[in-house]
Amino acid sequence: MSVYYSKDHEWIRVEGDTATVGITDFAQGQLGDVVFVEVPEAGQGLVQGGEAAVVESVKAASDVYAPVSGTVVEGNQALVDDPALVNSDPEGEGWFFKLTLSDTHQLNELMNADQYRSFCDSQ
Amino acid sequence: MSDPERPLPLDGWHRRLGARMVPFAGYAMPIQYEGILAEHRWTRSSAGLFDVSHMGQLLIAGADTEKGLEALLPADLALLKEARPKYSMLLLDDGGIIDDLMVTRRGDHFYMVVNGATKEGDVAHLEAKLPRTVVVDHMKEQALLALQGPKAVDALARLIPGVAALSFMTAGAFEFDGIKAWISRSGYTGEDGFEISVPAGAVERVADRLLAQDEVRPIGLGARDSLRLEAGLPLYGHDLDFTTTPVEADLVFALSKRRRAEGGFPGWHRIAKELVDGPVRKRVGLAVAGRQPVREGALVIDIDGNEIGKVTSGGFSPSLEAPIAMAYVPLAYAMPGNSVSLASRGKVCSGKVTAMPFVPHRYHRKGVA
């Protein structure tokens, strides 16, 4: 199992050819209190860099982009029902969706935890 | 390149309290401390302390000040008693709104509080239009705090006992630890509360004393916006601007009876006509279906898909735990209960016109326990 990070502040936990995607603790801190989440449905195809989900805090709306291409296996219904999970457990219970990777080479373009930490420090 | 933001007198105080600072009205201002939802709920249940020192505080004095001001705004200043803040607006000749404000008679002068983002333009407008006998003093060395919430009176009266005798929309001069303060029982949250004007050099001492009270926590701009939205109070630059009239904006209460009849203020012809015939459009509240907030700029559309208006403020109401918004719609749609559709970011949802405030006001009115 490996965890990767994108410049759009998403994390991707990969097991075999399946990945779980969410937004990072840094991202939830920037957004503030999350009040609405929309996740993609199973079967939906996602293209790297394309819109995948929506997250809205009290003050602003943001898109969550697909860090890698693939087909959605599951959207997190528990998160839709309780959007505050993004704030309380962003890199655990607050995951957004799971997908089957269509091109594992895309993972090479992402950051590891150390690189992501330096990236946030430079923001 | 825009100018860098200026610091408020309490800049270091905000940062020490862990505020996230953002640019607003040309200043670095605290958007939140612990979080918007928690701060919002704290203000509704206890007392929130807001730094609103970005707002413009003006002293207007000299021969013919009262007459000169009446030529620029629709309040009845001749009838305005000492130390009674009055909500009013600077108007354009076509009835559009230059800014909304509070004006108070204080002895031989008027004290005016205007919005931070518009204050420089307001001062220029006043100086250009008022008689040459009138002097406008922009008190840049004066800070402004707001203490809002059902326990605001408990906290403030512990330090300044006299404030408990004020009722909603009355004010007075007080002294505290040798600091001169002008305090009005007013605010922008729909709650009971106070606005406290003190010299910038003393504001940190006042803020610290208030924050030391158990009821009081610091509140940022984020909750200030969600609180005023629930209270149905318009925000200049969003719900009010050069293109909206006081009648369209549903601010008819601010048009004093004598002034409506006599006129003599900018835009009176259009405003008088709108009072008789009704405005073309009106600011309304919208209860939004579902959980997704509808934001400023979303389109209001009718049953046939035609654009009929725009959302001017929108967000999530922490008190109602539902999205709410303000919009301008044609008068035919402005009745509470009417359904409209709202389109934003490629999605359509439904909304229902709702009487405002969304959350009842709890002002401390005179004669009411």
- Contact between A76 and A40 under an 8 Å Cβ cutoff? The reply is no
Asked whether the predicted pLDDT for residue A1 surpasses 90, the reply is: no
**Distance in angstroms (rounded) separating the CA atoms of residues B9 and B1:** 24
Q: Is the dihedral of CA B23, B25, B27, B31 positive or negative?
A: negative
3-state secondary structure of B262: helix
Q: Is the ipTM of this complex over 0.85?
A: yes
**Distance in angstroms (rounded) separating the CA atoms of residues B242 and B327:** 16
3-state secondary structure of B177: coil
> Which backbone phi and psi does B74 adopt, to 5 degrees?
-90, 15
Buried b (16+ CB within 10 A) or exposed e, B54-69: bbbbbebbeeebeebb
A87-120: per-residue pLDDT in tens?
A: 999 999 999 999 999 999 999 999 999 999 999 9
Give the rounded distance of the alpha carbon of B193 from its chain centre: 13
pLDDT recorded at residue B304: 87
Percentage above 70 pLDDT, chain B: 99
Q: CB–CB of A35 and B295 under 8 A?
A: no
Residues of B in contact with A32 (CB under 8 A): 32, 35-36, 222
B295-334: per-residue pLDDT in tens?
A: 999 999 998 889 999 999 999 999 999 999 999 999 999 9
B191 secondary structure, DSSP code: B
pLDDT recorded at residue A59: 82
- Contact between B310 and B268 under an 8 Å Cβ cutoff? The reply is no
Residue of B nearest to A83 (CA): B291
**Distance in angstroms (rounded) separating the CA atoms of residues A23 and B28:** 27
pLDDT recorded at residue B3: 60
Distance from CA of B306 to the nearest CA of A (A): 25
Q: CB–CB of A61 and B315 under 8 A?
A: no
The structure's pTM equals: 0.95
Q: For domain A2-121, give its CATH number from 1.10.3720.10, 2.40.50.100, 2.40.50.200, 2.130.10.30.
A: 2.40.50.100
B16-72: per-residue pLDDT in tens?
A: 999 999 999 999 999 999 999 999 999 999 999 999 999 999 999 999 999 999 999
Q: Tokens for B22, please give them.
A: 């953002």
Report the interhelical angle of B36-45 vs B221-230 (nearest 10°).
60
Name the pLDDT band for B2 (thresholds 50, 70, 90).
low
Asked whether the predicted pLDDT for residue B369 surpasses 90, the reply is: no
Task: Compute how many other C-beta atoms are within 10 angstroms of the C-beta atom of residue B51.
Answer: 26
Q: Tokens for B354, please give them.
A: 């709702």
Q: Where are the alpha helices (DSSP H) in chain B?
A: 11-16, 36-45, 65-70, 119-129, 152-159, 203-211, 221-230, 257-262, 268-277
Residue B347 at interface with chain A, using a CB cutoff of 8 Å: no
Show which of residues 73-92 on chain A sit within 8 Å of chain B, judged by CB atoms. Answer: 83
A13-42: per-residue pLDDT in tens?
A: 999 989 999 999 999 999 999 999 999 999
Residues of B in contact with A64 (CB under 8 A): none
Residues of A in contact with B222 (CB under 8 A): 32, 58-59
B65-121: per-residue pLDDT in tens?
A: 999 999 999 999 999 999 999 999 999 999 999 999 999 999 999 999 999 999 999
Domain boundaries, chain A: 2-121
HSE (CB half, 13 Å, CA atoms) of B209?
Answer: 14
